[in-house]
Structures are given as structure tokens and as C-alpha cells.
A and B are shown apart, each in its own frame.
Chain A
């Protein structure tokens, strides 16, 4: 099968093309993914999330350097938003990762959200998969930092780091409750600016409210100045410590399992929907149903029940 052999050998071109096929929804990509599946599951997946302007890309750049210094190969999926108007995107995260531009042990893939209704696109997880199977030891997922993707990256990653800024003040409160509850480590970047200590205090308060039982992982609050290479070692140490603790407690396997099941369920949902709509789209009956919906002769629930009720499934 095209690209699979190459990807398994770690050939960047093969992996890149396979990721592209998957991103485009090409069935050849899915066939490739199936072949790669048994070979994935080795890599450590680190999610980096946080609001725009927090300096995530620069931080990721330095984190890559730190991992490389420890002899680990790093893959990166850097996500940027697609324009809701044009559907296009400017993917500029790569600019901040220049120093690794010709390092064969680093693979950076920029990805647009492609109108994915909030959250991470399927392609993000698929790309992480391919990079895993290619042999990258660490895969960093850098999210856009607005909307559901912050929460969803937690599903995808083993360890999620939340990046904040000094002076965020009230914004900390406004940050989605979910991410504050689920983040495994908190990084205050640009910590040389005034207000870093205040943010650290607020985070400590929030973490306190999580009532983490003794013996379980206590998310550290770390300070970095990524542009000056300060605090990076501590971040990587903390991420790896988290991973190690998960592995030792069996929680890592549990998380990975949960993640795969979640992904599987999502796939079933999407495929089932595709099957249903594929069957009825364009038919006169379906058009009539949509008209009834518009004229309020039926409601969305009844309409959906009607369609799905016609599905039969042999378990």
C-alpha cells in the first residue's frame, strides 16, 4: 500500500502524503491508517493549549529543542483557524519553529480547523497517529486556543499543558471551566512581565478547588519566558513526570483506552450519519421532509426518529 511502508520506516515524505490523504478524507488514507494501527501507541502525546497571544508556538519551539536535547524525536501538529468566510487559512505557527527546520528528527505539520464545528478535527488525531507509527517519540499538539478544542485536546493527549499570560486576571475566571479542571500542568509564559505572581496565585486557588486526593497528580504551576529559553527544562520534566505517573498507576493505559473508545464512538456516529444522509440526500421524500420541518408540520425530533427508525442493524 502506498506510503505505509515508507511511513513505518520513518520516511517524512510518505508520512506527509498519508497525513494529507487523511486530511482530505481520501479512502486511501483510511486504508493506510488501518495498516498503521498495530504500530502506533508508543508515542507520548503532549497537548499545548491556551489563549491566542500566550506564545504557544514559541514555547513549543523551545520544548522541541529540549526533547531533542534528550535524544527524542518530535512530531508537531500545529493548528490554526480556518476563516469562516473564505474557508481558507493562514498557517503561521511554523515560522516560530525555525530552528528545527532541517532537523530530520523533527516533523512539523500545520493544520487548519477546516470549519470543524469547534473542537479538534478528526484529522488532528489521525495525523498524531501517523506520526506515532512513523516512530516519533513525542507528539506535540498545539491548539488554536479558543472554543471547544481546548477541551478536546485533553481527550487526544496524554498530558495537557495550559498556557496562560501574566495580567490575565479576570480572564482566568472566564477560561473555560473544563480546561482548568482537566489541565495537567499550567504554564505562565512571558513570566518576566508584571502580574505573573498574581496569575500563579489565582491558578493555585482554582487547583485547590479541584480537591485533588492525596497521592494523585497535583498539576504544577510553572513560569517560563520562552523567548529567553527560561523554564523550559522544568516544563518538560513536569510533562514527563506526569506521563510516568500515569504509566505507573495504570492510568495511562486507561486514558489511552478511553481515548480510542471515544474516537471509535465518534467515528461510528459520523459514519452512521454519513450513511443515513447519503441514502436520503437528494430524494424527493427527503426534500418533502425538510419542507415539513420548515413549515413546522413536523419537529426535528420526530423527523430524526422517522429517519433513524428506518435503520436496521444486525448486531
Chain B
């Protein structure tokens, strides 16, 4: 039986995990296996978890404004570890203006506040089934 495995991560010092938990629970209800990292993850910890857990997708929730540091750093580490086939998406308070630069690093999608969960489900179905 094949199942899609997803890592949901909360980087940095920010403790606002309502969004991350809601998305994690929703993805579980959609039938995915969701490894939740918990709070206060460094980019190394996130990538290390993605590696050991052999996940197909990594979802990162950032509400502290540190997205311009976190996403590029995670993408860099994934490349270094030869894990570029892992899909990365993100969510949180990420201003519209900052999105193109982040997508350019290889992040597949960024879901801003107010995104319906259904959109995340569509994204997952399209990319990993």
C-alpha cells in the first residue's frame, strides 16, 4: 500500500501553531500520513526530519516574518542533501510582494491567509496524488 507522506514544520521561535495544526489535521483527514515536527525547528532540523522520514512533501508555516530567511535556507539544504525531488510548500503571513522571490528558489506554492483548505488539497492531488 503506498501512501503519500508529508512533513509539516514550524521553524524559528514563533509559537503560533494553529494554522500548522489545522493543515496537518486536514491532510490526515484527506488520507495523507503527516509527520509533525513541533515548534522551534531550525532549517537543518526540518531537512533532517524530511530525510529520515522519507517524505514526499514538506509544508512550512511561518507567521513571524522570517520567511525570507527560512525558505531559501531549507531549499539550499535540500539541494545539498540531494533531496531536490521533495516538494516544498508554505503558508502564513507572507506578503504578496515577497512571493515571487521565494517561488524562484524552488518552493512550489505559498498559501496566504484566508486560503481555503480545499486549495491545499487540490495542490496536493495535482502534485502527489
Contact = CB atoms under 8 A, between A and B. Distances in A.
A196 to B, nearest CB: 28
Interface of B: 1-3, 5, 24-25, 27-38, 40-42, 44-45, 48-49, 51-54, 81-83
Interface of A: 12-13, 16-17, 19-20, 24-26, 82-83, 85-92, 94-95, 98, 101-102, 107-110, 112, 114-115
A294 B125 CA distance: 37
25 contacts: A13-B81, A20-B54, A24-B3, A25-B1, A25-B2, A83-B28, A85-B29, A86-B28, A86-B30, A88-B31, A88-B33, A88-B34, A90-B34, A91-B33, A91-B35, A91-B53, A92-B35, A94-B49, A95-B36, A95-B37, A95-B38, A98-B38, A101-B45, A102-B44, A112-B3
Contacts of B34: 88-91
A54 B38 CA distance: 20
B23 to A, nearest CB: 11
A24 B2 CA distance: 4
Interface of A, helix, strand, loop or mixed by DSSP: mixed
A17 B54 contact: yes
A16 B49 contact: no
A102 B45 contact: yes
Contact of B54 (A19, A25, A85, A91): A19
B52 A16 contact: yes
A74 to B, nearest CB: 12
Given A13-B81, A24-B1, A90-B24, A110 B53 contact: yes
6 closest Cβ pairs, A-B complex: A95-B38, A20-B54, A88-B28, A24-B2, A16-B54, A101-B45
A13 B82 contact: yes
A115 to B, nearest CB: 8
A86 B31 contact: yes
Nearest to A123: B1
Contacts of A86: 28-31
A16 B29 CA distance: 25
A12 B53 CA distance: 10
B77 to A, nearest CB: 11
Contacts of A90: 24-25, 28, 34, 36
B72 to A, nearest CB: 19
Nearest to B28: A88
